[in-house]
Structure 1
Amino acid sequence: MRPRPLLPRDDPADSVRVVGEFGVIARVVARSGAARATEVGPGDDAAVLRAPDGRVVATTDVLVEGVHFRRDWSSAEDVGHKAAAANLADVAAMGGVATALLVGLVCPPDTSTAWLEGVATGLAEECAPLGAAVVGGDTVAAAPDSHSVVLSVTALGDLAGRAPVLRSGARPGDVLALAGRLGWSACGLAVLRRGFSSPIAVVQAHRRPTPPYAAGPAAAVAGATAMCDVSDGLLADAGHLAADSGVLVDVDRAALVRATLEPPGPLQQVAAALGGDPLAWVLTGGEDHALLATFPPRTVLPPGWTAIGAVRAAPNGPGVRVDGEDGAAVAAAVGAGGTGHVHFR
């Protein structure tokens, strides 16, 4: 048998196979921007960053095509923004400020380098307001039978001398507060799944989440006792905080509605069209990357934070309640399929 040609005829002229690994890296690096903390950037075996605090916040998320994004729903720039936001929000949830990203890329050889440049642009645009940038990473060819792109992003951050805000610090009597919006990404996903592209506000929220980055360090300065990023759904992530702290988290439904669904907007519009309850998205929708935190009683909440409940003792074990009712039961009552996203379910 004659060997298969190295370059299939349907490869785009600027495919990864044609340009090559180092050609791809050069094009991506050209769009990566610059991080304030960088001493040695892309190009050597590793980057070197300044860490004035002496400690480094580190977190990683993996985005898989067909699971976390679809190229027919999102532009390359959208994917870059989303990949960065998922990680930058985790740094903020520790009370830190992001300094740099490392990006691992797995892609088929026929992937367009123009598409990868778009991803790099999205990553850079999401990082730039924080003074962060992509400082390194790796590129690998996907398996021969794989047609999916995989992005693994690691974010690094600085605590500026403050103690990290953990999930395990909530105490009975604390105030439960929210920064950012909930339900918008899930609503946008519901719209896209039905083949529509409007209301554009919720579709764009799914494509490019807008985490309240500054709210994390502000909460730390204000004395937040516990904090987490809401990536899998309010009830699910509040459940993680409750379990780690050994407390009962009680969400005030009226306060949550005021914070997330007033004045009425696109969530109510889409829910009415689909015959659903917008509160289902607010309680269980993920990928908005809002921040959830607890504060000592009588704390003046920083700008952008709104009280939505309280922390109580958990004599019968930690959990999440909504107006004293089991969170899972409330989720079921509003038509949600669970309390949030569960990997491998």
Structure 2
Amino acid sequence: MGTIGDLGEFALIGRLTRRLPQGPAVRLGPGDDAAVVAAPDGRVVATTDLLVEGRHFRRDWSGPYDIGRKAAAQNLADVVAMGARPTALLVGFAAPPGTGVEWAERLYDGLADECRVAGASVAGGDVVGAPEVALAVTALGDLGGAAPLTRSGGRPGDVVAVRGRLGFASAGLALLAAGRDGPAELIAAHRRPEPPYTAGDEARAHGATALLDVSDGLVQDLGHIAEAGGVRIEVDSAAVPVPEILGPDGLRHALTGGEDHGFAATFPESAALPPSWRTIGRVVEGTGVRVDGRDPPAGAWDHFPV
């Protein structure tokens, strides 16, 4: 099929948008100056993220379909972390003119399929030429009349619980960096996260006081809940799920590894949580995050390290 440069901007847009089925929340999809997305709640949850080649993904490690799934997942998870249901994505796609048309189509297949899992759609976006591949993704969501679940609601006496995988993507990245090809489950987790999109509804149903997406490492992200609520979070490392597949550095991966896009929440102590949520600590008076009464290990993600 040649390259996107051979095809040209508008022919490329036509090919890509034909691969994007529209869900019921999208009243007017790609093809006009802007999309129209229903907002029955009267409020819109909105979040945006950037993925840059060489920083967030490598094309020699991940295929276009997985890159698309990952780009969608990390934004859809942020909507869920507000206690909302995802409705739509807007995607800005930058790529060198020599990028294959088939590569671009598979990227958009990944975006569309991840949206389908979460109940959303790709409603529009933009395509531009650039020296490297980059994706700018904006996700929209609907609260359904409920209050947002923010980071600031945790109070002393609450329990801290997690939902979804921890450390799998981090362990997979370490394997790829070491030139290894297995365990395949860990490498797949780095290439394509699997957020449990029901977590927002579950958290709300069980009285969650705070909720966030674990994207930059568990202890670092719990620090956001601690700071926003003016509290301390005490983590019991023995309660953190560390499957054998994570290897000898499993606890470090689970505590500091990001990009699995599981969820962490605080709940009243009386909450009867389902088995899919694992209690790993408590909220107490104080500041910061402690693991087994000590400072947590370093190593969480930072785009601008000192």
> What is the match of residue 10 of structure 1?
none
Structure 2 match to 1:4: none
Equivalent in the alignment of 1:62: 50
Q: Which deviates further from its counterpart, 25-34 or 150-159?
A: 25-34
Answering whether residue 149 of structure 2 is matched by residue 165 of structure 1, we say yes
Which 4+ stretches in 1 moved above 6 angstroms? none
How far did 1:109 drift? 1.1
Partner of 1:151: 135
Which residue of 2 is the match for residue 267 of structure 1? 246
> Are 1:178 and 2:178 an aligned pair?
no
Cα distance in 2 between the residues matched to 1:46 and 1:24:
18
Which residue is equivalent to 1:210? 194
Note the C-alpha offset of 1:221. 2.5
Is 1:254 matched up with 2:238? yes
Higher Cα radius of gyration = 1
Q: CA deviation at 1:302?
A: 3.9
Matches of 1:343 and 1:24, distance apart in 2: 32
Aligned residues: 305
Instruction: Give the aligned residue type for 2:253.
Output: W
Whether 1:343 and 2:303 are equivalent positions in the alignment is yes
Quickly say closer, same or farther: Cα 1:303–1:132, change in 2 above 3 A.
farther
Q: CA deviation at 1:33?
A: 1.8
What is the identity, as a one-letter code, of the residue corresponding to 2:95?
C
Give identity over the alignment, percent: 55
2:10 counterpart (13, 16, 22):
22
The amino acid of 2:169's aligned partner reads S
CA-atom RMSD in angstroms: 1.1
Secondary structure of the residue aligned to 2:152 is helix
Name the counterpart of 1:239: 223
Give, in whole Å, the separation in 1 of the partners of 2:16 and 2:79. 24
Q: Amino acid of the residue matched to residue 282 of structure 1?
A: A
Residue 273 of structure 2 aligns with which residue? 301
Q: Deviations over 1:6-65 (max 9, x none)?
A: xxxxxxx62111101111111111211222201111101111111111111100110000
Q: Secondary structure at the match of 1:155?
A: strand
Deviations 1:201-233, CA, capped at 9 Å, x for gaps: 000000000111101121022211111111000
Aligned residues of 1:35 and 1:131 also touching (Cα < 8 A): yes
Counterpart of 2:262, as a letter, is A
Instruction: Give the partner amino acid of 1:140.
Output: V
Kept in 1: contact 2:235–2:280 (CA 8 A): yes
Shift in Å, 1:160: 1.2
Q: Does 1:109 align with 2:97?
A: yes
- Give unmatched runs, 5+ long, in structure 2: none
1:303, distance to aligned residue in structure 2 (A): 4.9
- Tell me the SS of whatever aligns to 2:189: helix
SS class of match (1:340): coil
Q: Name the TM-score, length of structure 1 as normaliser.
A: 0.86
Q: Please state how far the C-alpha of 1:130 moved relative to its aligned partner.
A: 2.5
Instruction: Extract unaligned runs of 5+ from structure 1.
Output: 1-12, 272-276, 332-337
In the alignment, which of 83, 105, 125 is matched to residue 95 of structure 1? 83
Secondary structure at the aligned position of 1:236 is classed as helix
TM-score (norm 2): 0.97
- Report if the CA contact (8 A) 1:185-1:285 is conserved: yes
Partners of 1:292 and 1:32 in 2: how far apart? 31
* Selected match of 1:283 from 255, 268, 275: 255
Q: Post-superposition shift, 1:241? A: 1.1
Paired residues of 2:76 and 2:118 also in contact (CA < 8 A): no
| DSSP 3-state at the match of 1:206 | helix
Q: Distance in 1 between matches of 2:55 and 2:90?
A: 21
Question: What amino acid sits opposite 2:220 in the alignment?
Answer: A
Distance of 1:24 and 1:155 partners within structure 2: 22
- Residues 248 and 320 of structure 1 are in contact (CA less than 8 Å); yes or no, is this contact kept in structure 2? yes
Structure 2 residue aligned with 1:125: 113
Find out whether 1:222 has 2:212 as its counterpart.
no
State the alpha-carbon separation in 2 of the partners of residues 14 and 302 from structure 1: 51
Aligned-pair CA distance for 1:339: 4.0
Structure 1: distance between partners of 2:135 and 2:66? 13
Residues 302 and 95 of structure 1, relative CA distance in 2, 3 Å threshold: farther
Secondary structure at 2:41 match in 1 = coil
